[in-house]
Structure 1
Amino acid sequence: MNSFKQSSRTIAIVASVVGGVVLLGVGATAAVATFGNMNASNSGGSQSLDVTGINGVEVVSNAADFELVFADVSEAQLDITGNSTYRWEMRVDDGDLVVDSKRGFFDFCIGWCNMGEQQVTLTLPSELDSGKLDAELQLNAGTLNAGGSWNDLAIEVNAGALEFGGSANALDTSVSAGRAILDVDGARTADLEIAAGQLIAELTGRTPGEVSVDVSAGKLELTVPDDTYDVRSDVSAGSFDNRLDTSSNSSHRIDVSVSAGSAALRAG
């Protein structure tokens, strides 16, 4: 009898503790969601910044529909609409304009939280569209659309969909998931790497001198100017479809490595 009472008391205590934890979690989620919604409601608006003398532009977009454009403005402008737990910041760091988004201390989730949706537009002065600045574009979720003329252009896609249409002297692209569609004019060199997802790139204008293609998974399609190329390939698995005119004497070299997935070369 005493043993039964002791067991019943133990069960009651455990049930109370579990119930308290559940209620605490629900309450915490509600409280955090309230703070998160408050932050999200204040996350819209506009920012402006003097970018005279900058050397480059860095964008890190985590969860938004992001667009980079040039216009007749005197300062860089960042316009944000919609709600999200992410907070956008624009600053000049070590000579580069940096635009990124981060979560605040209270912007975390216990259980389910509404992430919200944002539309973000970065407008740069038209005089910066000169081909002299470097650009680094990183997409971790959502979409990113950009253009312009750049010197060195680095693109990293970890998730989501990115589109670029413009020019660059040098192109460096890495896709680990998601999709990237690139139309780049005038590139002297290009380094294209894909680990998953899809990468569709077209190089126009002058014939590039050096192109490197590395496919470990996913699908890559590359279109280059109609010319003769020295194509060298190393295919351990997957597929490689080369439809370019080739010659080992060509000064325009393309190195292709495929360990899984597929790569295709086409003439534009």
Structure 2
Amino acid sequence: MEIGILGPEGTFSETAAMLWLKEGGRIENFAIKYYETIFDVSESIVKKEVNYGIVPIENSLEGSVGDTLDVLSSENADEMQIVGEVLVPIRICLLFNGSFPEIKKIVSHHHALAQCKQFIRERLKGVALKSVDSTASAAKLAAQSEQIAALASAESAKMYGVNILAEDVQDKDSITRFVVLSSSGIKAAPTGKDKTSILLSVKERPGALYEVLGEFALRGLNLTKIESRPSKRALGDYMFYIDCEGHLEEAEMQEALKGVEKKAAMLKILGTYPMAIRK
């Protein structure tokens, strides 16, 4: 079994992959492939280079990961589905082989930089900031420079041989949710604690979204996420990404989606899968 994630080694995506493997008893006979972007991970799934791709979709502090939502609304989404999710507690460290006064630049993924605003403002005011593709890439850069510090995990510090100058520098504790993508056509059986993800657009008239959401409320189905994204077809034209508690095979969910299909301009089922339990 091969799994595609954001690289290089030491990213939080790798932590998510290892958690998913352990929780599912899949810890033997696997290989991890590293990719530069979320789009590259999705391409690897469509091209059958990997069996699964694991990508971040939202953080409890910084909100949704736009690149992942864009992938789920792209043409590639027709050839893959969400088959699982993983919750990863995020603990960020300041990595640097020197002292605070020697730091000239801080690099990290833009979500990590945003999660450490207060620390940066209080301890590293005026230091240049640069966004890179992943926290592990940042750690790699810090290992190669006498002036660059990274915001990354303790694991990546060990992996790339960088000192931890400060631990837990995130403004607040946070959790990042990752989704597991596959093109295998595998459908998870109901567990009693499931989630279904959909993408839809509504007709251009007053109350259209209200009517669509009412189909879930009418059947007592709880929505855990709703977010609008530009359709990229025209200004003011949006699609809605929705997560709902329940499995696609359950009668209430089937009835709700039939009602949505009648009222929405477009409906796409992104996946139905076991809900990750926060520990």
TM-score (ref. length: structure 2): 0.20
Of structures 1 and 2, the one scoring higher in RCO (CA 8 A, sep 6+) is 2
Select the structure of larger CA radius of gyration: 1
**Of Structure 1 and Structure 2, which has the larger fraction of its residues in strand?**
1
**Of Structure 1 and Structure 2, which has the larger fraction of its residues in helix?**
2
